[in-house]
Each structure stands twice: as structure tokens, then as C-alpha cells.
Amino acid sequence: MKKLFTLLVLCVLCLNMSAQSSTNKIVLSIAPNATEVQFAVKLDGATSYSVNFGIGEGVQTFNKAATEEFIKVHYTFTHPRSSAREITLDATNIVTFRVTASKAINGIKEVVSDKIKELGFANTNLDAYPSLDISQCPALVNAVFVGSNLESVKLPAGKTLESIQVSASWVGTKKSLKEINLSDAEGLKSILITDAVLTEVDLSKQTGLETLCIYNPNKIGLRKIIGAKNLMKITRLNLNGNNLGFDQIPNRVIDEAPLEQFQYAQSYYYVDKSRINNNTIDLSHLLKTKGISTSEQKSSFTWLWKAKKEDKESVYSVEALAQKIRFWQDRGEVVVFTNGCFDILHRGHLTYLKEAATLGDHLVVALNSDSSVRRLKGDSRPINHELDRALLMSSLSFVDGVVLFEEDTPAEVLSQLRPNILVKGGDYKPEEVIGKEFVEEVRILPFQDGYSTTGIIKHIQELVKEGKL
């Protein structure tokens, strides 16, 4: 009986060890056609480490160099695959995992570890699995996902996690962070997030927060920070590109937290309906703020009224039109963009523009400046001055905004406007269109045959030669 009991105990221990081994793991997705993979791990006392590289590769062991703190894993695949593969790391003894500028690793499928303290993915696009769950890492202190293109992150609850960094990829198509459970991570001291489409964050439990950077230059940003006035230990603040009022600035205690960085350039302020009574808007809560200096600072406001169709400006600055576009997109409206010289406005233009306008809620048009037209079409063009062309274009009922650009292509203006749909006319292929990386969709519309500015000019020249003009 004693032997049987001992055997049972051993079996239970083995099962527990097996369960632990299978539970504590990091599963990474490897991009198709990857020939090698590199990363580094720091272990809790161990000097060697094994990784399962999957079918055809098997388990490989890596040893720590005598002078190195980390085990550097550099593995060349024996059998590269045209499809994605997975590799599995035993995370039982991992305390730190780091990846830098990896093209091979394109996603994190699973992370479970009761020891890991640091996860670092720098300049590594992880959008093969854009929803990341690291909630099963209770010991995690620092999490970095820079250039990751993650759309959702679930953090571990509790007070252990101190720092989180998330940003979109710096090359190719950017994806925005749409969801992150900051409220559960009560111990956060540093939050660095860019390119997010978060409208509200709850920081009511993060009273020890020192760095708050939620910077969003291109998308609709934050409208509300719950618990903002309780963040009295903030030393670094960057809330540029959001839609926050001065009431969202933390009431800092200056003597305890000297200010190191303060950036608060907002796109616009979203006025809550509860503060509007007929034609009266109550902004009394925004009159003063504390924490920027030793004295209260008075607020000031610049009002941007939504223009009626008949009151549209002939030409907007890029900044002003970008602001209007953010306003429309915030209401869920689709903005369509097209560009061209539109030198002599004719039926073909009108047909094309009207069809483009039907693709969304608002149509904005970028016009080549006079100098740009001359470079593209010669010294005899344009026939009409840029401001005259802009006035005619803005007068069309289905055009909501006109902007001039000096460059030969609209890439620069598109990078600032960021409309939803880019429309081109002719026989372009969507993948050939300049500026496609700044929009959600590219649409190609055929020009109407028999109508062109060049044809009109040629006809006028023929009439002059015939003495009919």
C-alpha cells in the first residue's frame, strides 16, 4: 500500500510538472518564407534553453555565453516554408523575452507565464495575430510592442504591471489600437500609446501614474479620461492629437512631480450634450486648470463653426481641411478624396466628380497649384488661375472642400488629410495609385469619353485658325 501511495504521489507530481511545462509557454507565428529567426531570453537561473521549432525542425538547445546575461537564439530553418509556421518556447524559466526589428516573427499567438517580467517587441509587426492576450502573465512588469500594428491588447490585472508601450508599424499600412483594458492594470506608472482610436480610457485606479502619452496624429482621439484629476504624480504628459478639453489635464502636485514634458495640442474639443441648452454652451468647467505652473492658468478657445454648403471657403489650408475631415469621420461619415488640375471644368469632370461623391458622405478635392500644373503640362497651362479653379470647384454642391497643393503628386496632402476613400480616374490599377497607403480604400472611375481640357483647347485653336474666333 505504501509503495502504491508513493507511486500515486510521483504520478501526481509528474502530471503537475507536465501541466506546468505545457501551461507556461510562448507561441510565436513565423512569417511565410522566413529562413531564420532571432530573439533573446533571460532565464531564472538556467544556463541553457530549448525551443521547439515545429515539424521538420524539432527541438533545439541554446547555451548562454559565459559573459552574456541573455541566451541569444539564432536559428536557421532547415526546411523554409512558403506558409506560416509556429514555434513554441517553454516559458517555465523565462523572466525576459526580447525581439528587435524582426521580419520573421509576425505574431504572438499565445503567452502564458507565471515568471516572465518583461516582454519586448521593438519594430516588429505582429498583425498576424492583431488581438493579443497577455492577461495570463501575473508577474509581468514591462510590456513593449513598438511598431506592432496590434488592434487589441488584454493586460494582466493587478498592481504588478508598471509600463505598457504600443504603437503601429512604421512601414506599410498602419493599424490602429482599438481596445486596451488599462483600468485593470492598477499599478501602471507609464503609458505610451500612439496611433490609437480610443475615445475613452479609465485611469481612475492608476493614481501612481508618472508618464501619460496617448498621442494620435491621424485618427479621432480621446474625448474623455476617467480619473484625470487624480493623476497628481504625472511628470511627462503628451496628449497631442486628441479631442480633450482642459478639464482633462491632471491636477498635478508640482512640488512632488516636477514637469519634464507637457504637450497638449488638441484637434478639437467634443462638447457633451449635457452642457448644451438650446443656444447656450456651458464651458465653466474649462475656465482654469492646475499643474502647468505654480498658478492657475486661464483657458482660451477658438471656435470653428461648421460651414453651410453656401458658405464654403474657396480654398482651405491643409490643416483646416484635415480638421473638418476628422470632425466628419468622428460622426461616422465617409470622406472621399480625388485630385487633379481641373483646368477647364467640363461635363466629363462633372460626371466624374458627381460619381465620386456618391461613394461617401463628403467629397474633398485637391487641386494642383499653377506651378504644379506648369511642371506637368507645360508653360502654356493652366488656362485658369488656381484661385479661379478653386472657386469653381467649391461652388459645386457635391464638393465639400478644396485644397491646393504644390507638389507633383498628392501624396503629401493625403498623408495629412487621411480620407477614407481615394478616387482616381482612368485606367489605373489600385496598387499603382500614389498615396494608397494613407486611405482605407482606392476606387477607380473611368473618364467619360469625348471630354477633355486638351480637346477643348485644341478645338478653340482650330476655330482661331479658321477665323471663326
* Residue 14: per-residue pLDDT: 45
Quickly state the pLDDT bin for 253 (edges 50, 70, 90). low
Encode pLDDT of 277-326 as tens digits. Answer: 877 778 777 766 665 555 555 555 444 444 344 455 668 888 889 988 98
Is residue 153 classed exposed, middle or buried when 0-12, 13-18 and 19+ CB atoms within 10 A define those classes?
buried
Residues 338, 222, 237, 148, CA torsion sign? negative
- Measured CA to CA, the distance from residue 19 to residue 60 in angstroms comes to 21
Task: Summarize the confidence of residues 125-132 as an average pLDDT.
Answer: 94
pLDDT in tens, 216-250: 765 568 888 999 888 888 888 888 888 888 778 88
* pLDDT grade for 171, boundaries at 50, 70 and 90: low
pLDDT at residue 453 greater than cutoff 70: no
Any idea where the domains of the chain sit in the sequence?
23-298, 309-458
Interval 374-391 mean pLDDT: 87
Q: Would you say residue 5 has pLDDT above 90?
A: no
Segment 142-169 mean pLDDT? 94
Work out the mean pLDDT of the chain and round it to a whole number: 84
Is residue 185 classed exposed, middle or buried when 0-12, 13-18 and 19+ CB atoms within 10 A define those classes?
buried
Q: Which residue has the higher pLDDT, 131 or 19?
A: 131
Place of cell 512588469: 141
Integer Cα distance of 85 and 174 in angstroms: 24
Q: 60-70: buried (b, 16+ CB within 10 Å) or exposed (e) per residue?
A: eeeebeeeeeb
d(CA 288, CA 259): 18
Chain centre distance of CA 182: 18
pTM here is: 0.61
At residue 17, the pLDDT reads 41
Which of the four pLDDT bands, split at 50, 70 and 90, describes residue 338? very high
Structure confidence at residue 9 as a pLDDT band (50, 70, 90) = very low
Highest-scoring range by mean pLDDT, 18-27, 35-44, 308-317, 342-351: 35-44
What CATH fold (topology level) applies to the domain 309-458? Rossmann fold (3.40.50)
d(CA 401, CA 362): 8
pLDDT at residue 73 tops 80: yes
Q: Report d(CA 197, CA 220) in Å as an integer.
A: 6
Alpha-carbon radius of gyration of the chain: 29
Amino acid at 13: L
